[in-house]
Amino acid sequence: MALTNVAVIAFDGVAPFELGILCEAFGIDRTADGVPAIDFAVCAEDDAPMRTSSGFTLQAAHGLDRVLKADLVGIPAMKLAEPSDAVLRTVRAAHDRGARIMSICSGAFTLGEAGLLDGRECTTHWMYTEQLQQRYPKAKVIPEVLYVDAGQIVTGAGSAAGLDAALHVWRQEYGAAIANIIARRAVVPPYRDGGQAQYIARAVPDCDADTLRPLLTWVLENLAEDHGVETLAKRALMSPRTFARRFREETGTTPHHWVTRQRVAAAEELLERTEQPVEWIAGEVGFGNAATLRHHFVRVRGVSPQSYRRQFAC
């Protein structure tokens, strides 16, 4: 079924930026540029003014019955409140008749409430991924990506990643040439490498590590040192086995994983704030060489150190 009809559902608390992304991606007439025509509509439960998350109000010209004709149903970001029964029934009905459904950012919670994320891979803004997983435990939440295509359900990550998801849908439906036209008009790259992992704020190493807190503080101040389990256990005056068990109890992870994450985070700061070469940074944070730093950085953040520096250097 070719994409020719798009309906976006809005209700109180809708985020205007994410709503705007759906309007930009599907609601502009680009037929003069060779882009196929789309019958586009913003729909709501009734014609009452809706208050956006930014405080102003807007009014939809179409009711939820318009959604039943759509090939693609868009769900923009919403405040994290339960949508109405009418909205949930409409979303489920669209899904049951085969329509594709795409959420942006916290719009994924509407899909979760409708039961459409059960057993499916999905994503949302990195600030909400843990909450999404906790609220809908049958979902398979992937925090690091810009979007997830689970077939009939497409979920975009934080805010602007919704445009990445929309361009992906255009590429699938009409090919790269059409998606490139839309990207050029929106002045964005047609495809972005990496994911949203590089945008996740550095986690402060805060935990219930009452016993190990002095040791963890020392590690952060001496990342270039050897931090193997035996070395750290000796410094903590414990056997390696006891230390490994205590470490997991107090931090929720292994010493190797924790140290690696802290080294990557320290490398981020040096990439952002200095012009030192990657090889030097690798030595400063304890990775030893640029190849090892690159390996762990890509695995944790989804992009290379050089790409991260280009995006975030001060």
Please tell me whether residues 169 and 73 are part of one structural domain.
Answer: yes
**Contact partners, residue 279, CB within 8 Å, separation at least 6:** 289, 290
Residue 273 belongs to what domain range?
213-312
Q: How confident is the model at residue 204 (pLDDT cuts 50, 70, 90)?
A: very low
Q: What pLDDT, in 10s, does the model give residues 74-90? A: 999 987 667 899 999 99
**Which region among 8-22, 30-44, 127-141, 244-258 has the lowest average model confidence (pLDDT)?**
244-258
55 and 124 housed in the same domain? yes
Quote the CA–CA distance of 284 and 95 in Å, as a whole number.
Answer: 52
Domain assignment of residue 93, yes or no: yes
Q: Which residues pair with 149 in a beta bridge?
A: 154
Q: Do 218 and 189 belong together in one domain?
A: no
Average pLDDT over residues 120-140: 93
| 63-72: average pLDDT | 96
Please state, as a whole number, how many other Cβ atoms lie within 10 Å of the Cβ of residue 32: 6
Mark whether 240 and 97 lie in a shared domain. Answer: no
Q: How far apart are CA 246 and CA 241, in angstroms?
A: 9
Task: Identify whether residues 163 and 219 lie together within a single domain.
Answer: no
Asked if residue 88 belongs to a domain, the reply is: yes
Q: Give the closest residue to 136 by CA, choosing from 117, 151, 152.
A: 117
Kindly state whether residue 226 falls inside one of the protein's structural domains: yes
Is residue 100 domain-shared with residue 225, that is, in the same domain?
no
Full-model pTM = 0.68
Count structural domains, the chain.
2
Identity (one letter) of the amino acid at 275? Answer: E
Q: What is the CATH number of the domain that holds 57?
A: 3.40.50.880
Residue 203, in any domain of the structure: no
Mark whether 181 and 50 lie in a shared domain.
yes
**pLDDT tier at 175 (50, 70, 90 boundaries)?**
confident
**CATH code assigned at 298:** 1.10.10.60
Q: How far is CA 152 from CA 40, 97, 156, 192, 229, in A?
A: 19, 11, 13, 22, 46
pLDDT digits (tens, 9 = 90+) for 40-62: 999 999 999 999 999 999 999 99
pLDDT computed for residue 206 by the predictor: 44
192 and 56 within one domain: yes
pLDDT at 273: 84
Residue 106's pLDDT is 94
Q: Are residues 95 and 180 in the same domain?
A: yes
Same domain, 26 and 90: yes
202 or 147, greater pLDDT: 147
pLDDT of residue 77: 92
Give the pLDDT confidence score for residue 89 in this predicted structure: 96
Mean pLDDT of 257-279: 90
Q: Are residues 39 and 179 in the same domain?
A: yes
